[in-house]
Amino acid sequence: MPMNSLDFDRDPLFNPKDTRIVVAMSGGVDSSVAAALMVEAGFDVIGMTLQLYDQGMALGKKGACCAGQDIYDARRVCDKLAIPHYVLDYESRFSQAVIEDFADSYLRGETPIPCVRCNQQVKFKDLLTTARDLEAKALVTGHYVQRLVGKDQENKGRGELHRAVDPTRDQSYFLFATTQAQLDFLRFPLGGMPKAETRQHALRFGLEIADKPDSQDICFVPNGSYVNVLEKLRPGALEAGDIVHVDGRVLGRHKGIISYTIGQRKGLGIGGGEALYVIRLDPTRHRVVVGPYEALARTEIWVKDVNWLGDGDPLGEEPDPLTCEVKVRSTRESVRATVTRAVATGGGSRARVAFAVPEYGVAPGQACVFYQGTRVLGGGWIEREE
């Protein structure tokens, strides 16, 4: 692996063996290969795994370990690579910053993204602090994104966040809340390769997890049963209410708004007839509002807690509107839009996003991420319409 992929060799006194790297290791193929590549490059590598939650809470099983197999797999990889491995208990922090927020977000009629909150509040905050305490020069992760370095005079040496080379694996949407200070300390060695190449590296290094499947679920929501998890976290959350057409007609009953998401068509339980979609959720009156596909169209949205990673600050006090591309869901293609800043009541950074062409099924609680080509300019959280 060329040293300049980590942007250290600009220092004439650079020596990899004297450069400590902490690798965030989940026990999966990606982070394991990232660690192996760092060892191969000659760095002083430390593997770090976070114990984040009690799986027994999610499964309802007493004594079940938090991702016990994953922690074991990470330790085996570190043994294979002959590097130290540490497990940090962040269960309390994760519960407060991620799991509780996840539950509250659903009760507010939103569709949360806990993986972003985890990166924002735990991995790129607490773990990064720990890496600095260990006198590491960088925190390496197995995310499929690219950290490129600005070359013009104004941004020389400054980290930029870019999409991964492989669009099918790109995770830049989930990292929009990364701050500039965090980005300057983070490194992503897998962003320039497809997943197939990562698995080839795993085989080349002789890692036993080379064929381990990718996780498809939120870590604390086994089998995708988030409603069951929410029932345990918030007893009584499944409060029944009406399913109402946008024209005011009551079409049926539901068992709880947490079972529905914006744009959902199947599983509404209101019989045949016209094709209906979930248009919005009303947590105050416990209503699910449905309507035709056309009612999902949005020409503009508002986003809050905007994080900016671009040059300068076009969302400053008196900005010109910023024309760029935006993504409103991780699985959506980016679309053209105009972003304009507004001062939020009580402080904070808000912005209005006006789409060049109407978007459908925009869900509050999801992220709206701004792009310029492959570069992530920043983003914010989509607000719920009253």
pLDDT digits (tens, 9 = 90+) for 18-41: 899 999 999 999 999 999 999 999
Pairing of strands 349-360, 297-308: antiparallel
Domain count, the chain: 3
If pLDDT is split at 50, 70 and 90, which confidence band does 67 have? Answer: low
Domain that holds residue 321: 298-382
Mean pLDDT rounded to a whole number for the chain? 87
347 belongs to a structural domain: yes
The alpha-helical segments, DSSP class H, found in 41-99 are: 55-59, 68-81, 91-94
Largest CA distance in the chain: 73
**Mean pLDDT confidence for 134-140:** 96
Position 61 pLDDT exceeds 50: no
Active site residue 65: no
Position 14 pLDDT exceeds 90: no
Same domain, 160 and 215: yes
155 belongs to a structural domain: yes
Position 344 pLDDT exceeds 60: no
pLDDT of residue 126: 87
Same domain, 123 and 169: yes
In angstroms and rounded to an integer, the radius of gyration of the C-alpha atoms of the chain is 22
Lowest mean pLDDT of 63-72, 177-186, 214-223, name the range. Answer: 63-72
Q: Which of 66, 78, 115, 118 is catalytic?
A: 118
Same domain, 161 and 273: no
Q: Rank 11-20, 208-217, 348-357, 370-379 by mean pLDDT and report only the highest.
A: 370-379
Q: Which of 65, 66, 115, 219 is catalytic?
A: 219
How many residues make up the chain in this entry? 386
Higher-pLDDT residue of 170, 12:
170
pLDDT of residue 239: 87
Active site residue 78: no
- CATH code: domain of residue 356: 2.40.30.10
